[in-house]
Copies of this chain bind each other. A is one copy, B any other.
Amino acid sequence: MSYVAPVKDMLFVLNELANLAEVNALPGCEDATPETVEAVLEEKAKFTSEVIAPLNWEGDKAPSYWHDGQVTTTKGFKEAFRMFAEAGWQGVQHPQEFGGQGLPKLVATPCLEMLNAANISFALCPLLSDGAIEALLTAGSDEQKAIYLENLISGKWTGTMNLTEPQAGSDLALVRSRAVPQGDGTYKVFGTKIFITYGEHDMAENIIHLVLARTPDAPEGVKGISLFIVPKFLVNADGSLGARNDAHCVSIEHKLGIKASPTAVLQFGDHGGATGYLVGEENRGLEYMFIMMNAARFGVGMQGIGLAERAYQKAVQYARDRVQSRDLAGSAGPVAIIHHPDVRRMLMSMRAQIEASRALAYVAASYSDMAHHHADAEVRKQKQAVYEYLVPIVKGWSTELSQDVTCTGVQVHGGMGFIEETGAAQHYRDAKILTIYEGTTAIQANDLVGRKTARDGGAVALAILAQVRATEEALAQSGDAQLQAIQHQLALGSAALEDVVKYVVANVKSDIKGVFSGSVLYLKLAGIVLGGWQMARAALVAHDKLQSGDADKAFLEAKIVTARFFADHILSAAQGMRSAIVDGSAGVMGLPEEMF
């Protein structure tokens, strides 16, 4: 088995750290009982291990290919997607009204992790559909919902996001695609979109492109962008497929990784104009697109965590099997390399970062559910603010660490890691896109500094830190040496983060470039401190359960050891990062451009 979902770890996080019981008690979340959730996870684990994971290496060896406007996906993908759709996996978190299961995001999140761990190239297709579904649910008309949602949620059709153009990557103000009203409520769309994930493929009957374009009199910049539905095949009044639309895939990219996922160049309107339908109001496209992007950003964070878990499992397997050199403490002959301290350190580093980022992401999902479903509007608002603070961290930090983890995964394999057939290198290559698409780490960090910290004067960040302090207090009072060692590093970390939040708030106006030169470091610092906080919470839970005689001793003790490792080896970087952010801008901005 190349991937076995860590269901026990996932359930521990859901139940002990992410308040599944509280979410289950929310209006509309009554189906998410502990028993149902466990059953869903077990089923998804089986499906991803048996059906999806084996296609991962196949997709790397024999990527999707383009011929004459058509894209043929890797052998097995089409059938697997049919099975995925038929089992209802596309609809886990979507409304029952349109055929979904209506489960909370907290339950959909481990499902998402598993699918991405099993096969990130495959998982991208439903991930983009999720984004399209979210956008239509929020901004689509009732008619649009009726036409598109059921087929997207059933997996009969898939969705795409069309933002990027050759001159407009991170900067959507530069979008040039045009949409010309036809007087009948429809538009003709013209333009070139690049980097369109699953922009063309053979796994579904229709593809619903959501496209950013400008109407003729739109203002310049981001305030003049509108969002359009441009289906590959037009949909007749009876729901059947009509004419082929003028949206064509002219090539796909030759990429470092995620090779089975076709990355399309789409040409709209080369043959008279692609028929498009406005979503919501004109010039509000960016706002709607952000709905898709926020869901997608959280999803990309989960991709990082899933991929890291996959790389970890592979490395552990190799470290158990590969026999090389004697044990340092003495042994008759060579031993499995898992006995060697540095191999152990590498595996712990992978494991600890995965557990921390998983816990933080699931906790964020739980906040999202409360923000959507809580009966009290004020509570919803508070929870939403925390969720929005966490999204750039989940996206940015989890993907950055996935590159570290997959790199370490190759390293554990030694020379074999560099041979493609081993498979460790694929994870390393795949991971590199995660810090780039759906907004680079710097874009996430700008969001964290600007919209999520400076705008409210650091209020949300400081409120979260007050919770961290409460955990520190509990650790200190535990009387346990391991927990107190964790407390020591967590306190240093939370102090560092508080300093940085205050520095950001105090200086963002007077020294904007200085503050933004530390933005990525701030994001990473927030990641390790808030991830470290989750590890500390896990250690506390484990400690309390052990005290009360819980029989699952080895599992609970492992939680404490892993939290200890995270504190000593990952969280211990916090003070240095603080100093780089607060004192380090002179070095960043001091060199004149021509001296590079």
Residues of A within 8 A of B (CB): 164, 167-171, 173-174, 194-195, 253-257, 316, 319-320, 323-325, 328-329, 334, 338-345, 347-348, 351-352, 403, 407, 410-411, 414-415, 417-421, 425, 428-429, 432-433, 435-437, 440-442, 445-446, 482, 485, 489, 512-514, 516-520, 554-555, 558, 561-562, 564-569, 572-577, 579-580, 583-596
Contact = CB atoms under 8 A, between A and B. Distances in A.
Nearest to A519: B342
B170 A520 contact: no
Given A576-B575, A584-B572, A587-B568, A440 B414 contact: yes
Given A174-B324, A429-B256, A512-B329, A564 B580 contact: no
Nearest to A590: B561
Contacts of A566: 587
A517 B558 contact: no
Contacts of A588: 341, 344-345, 348, 565, 569
A575 to B, nearest CB: 6
Given A591-B348, A596-B351, A334 B256 contact: no
B596 A343 contact: no
A210 to B, nearest CB: 18
B255 A420 contact: yes
A436 B418 contact: yes
Nearest to A195: B415
A183 to B, nearest CB: 34
Contacts of A574: 576
Contact of A340 (B351, B411, B442): B442
Contacts of A440: 411, 414
Contacts of A257: 418
A568 B586 contact: yes
B587 A561 contact: yes
A255 B512 CA distance: 44
Nearest to A407: B403
13 contacts: A169-B414, A174-B324, A256-B410, A342-B516, A348-B587, A348-B588, A417-B432, A418-B432, A554-B594, A561-B590, A565-B584, A568-B587, A572-B576
Contact of A170 (B325, B418, B432, B437): B325
B341 A519 contact: yes
B587 A418 contact: no
Given A171-B324, A575-B576, 20 more contacts: A169-B414, A170-B324, A194-B415, A253-B418, A254-B419, A256-B420, A339-B593, A340-B442, A345-B517, A348-B587, A411-B436, A418-B436, A554-B595, A561-B587, A564-B586, A569-B580, A569-B588, A572-B577, A572-B580, A572-B584
A61 B520 CA distance: 34
A278 B411 CA distance: 34
